[in-house]
Amino acid sequence: MTSIRFNLPTLLNRLLICVTLLLNIRCCVVAKWYHRPNVVLILTDDLDSAIGGMTPLNKTKKLIGEAGITFTNAFVASPLCCPSRASILTGKYPHNHHVINNTLEGNCGSTAWQETQEPKTFPALLQAYAGYQTFYAGKYLNQYGNPDAGGVEHVPLGWDYWVGLERNSRYYNYTLSVNGKPKKHGGNYSEDYLTDVLTNMSLDFLQYKSNYRPFFMMVSPPAPHAPWTPAPQYQDRFKDLKAPRDPNFNVHGKVGAKHGNTHNTPTPHTH
């Protein structure tokens, strides 16, 4: 019979070295995450600073604008909603991501978009290659939730936590996709006003997220897009304020000279 003897002090020293190495590896991994910045991207809809859209947002200007950087000479790839959103997500011009308008036929949230572009959005790359935890809440692409493109059960690749608004801008009586499961909301302000719902869900994410990984959060409320439904406490705050009457006000131009959303709008504007 072969006898095996253990030197207890030597064994304990080796175990201590192994535990120390494991702790050092874990600490290095944690330190690696801490060196990567957390990112919060708030995407508003139809907020035009050129005609006074920032005028009522005093808190936003104070907490974000004055404390950071304002780009005064910035441009978008397209003035149209879905192509512009697709460019933000992919970093591509419309002729490269092929979203040309707000319709499914125009590749807005189509199955082709899902297959060719969603895997390459920057949040998907942050998640896959940089270890980020990702959160989305709000309006995505205008045709999101269309039954012909997977419905609200479709969760775009790259998001750990997904709260997507079905279709276009609404403030009441809408459906959210919560990680692929539909949740209907009604017309009760305290429970259903979309801007507040998205805010509360975002705060929940910040409270319960992992502290050992960096995060990317994208919050996309429809405000101030039509139908311009204010929260009750702000209902009368700007009742006497009108859009600037510059030379282009109520001038639609000939069909073909401007985008269809412009020349098809009823005249005159009254807001």
Structural domain span for residue 232? 37-49+81-236
Residue 7 domain flag: no
Residue 113 domain flag: yes
Residue 10 domain flag: no
- The CATH number of whichever domain residue 130 belongs to comes to 3.40.720.10
pLDDT tens, position by position, for the chain (271 residues)? 444 444 545 534 444 444 444 444 444 444 455 589 999 999 999 888 888 888 888 998 899 889 888 888 888 899 899 999 999 999 999 999 999 999 999 999 999 999 999 999 999 999 999 999 999 999 999 999 999 999 999 999 999 999 999 999 999 999 999 999 999 999 999 999 999 999 999 999 999 999 999 999 999 999 999 998 999 999 998 888 887 888 877 777 666 666 666 666 665 555 5
Asked if 140 contacts 166 with a C-beta cutoff of 8 angstroms, the reply is: no
Q: What domain count does the chain have?
A: 1
Q: Which of 27, 28, 81, 108 is catalytic?
A: 81
Residue 271 domain flag: no
Which ranges of the chain does DSSP label H, i.e. alpha helix?
A: 8-34, 58-60, 81-90, 94-97, 111-116, 122-130, 189-192, 194-208, 260-263
> Is the whole-model pTM more than 0.85?
no
Q: In the numeric block, which tokens belong to residue 110?
A: 């189509």
Residue 249 domain flag: no
81 catalytically annotated: yes
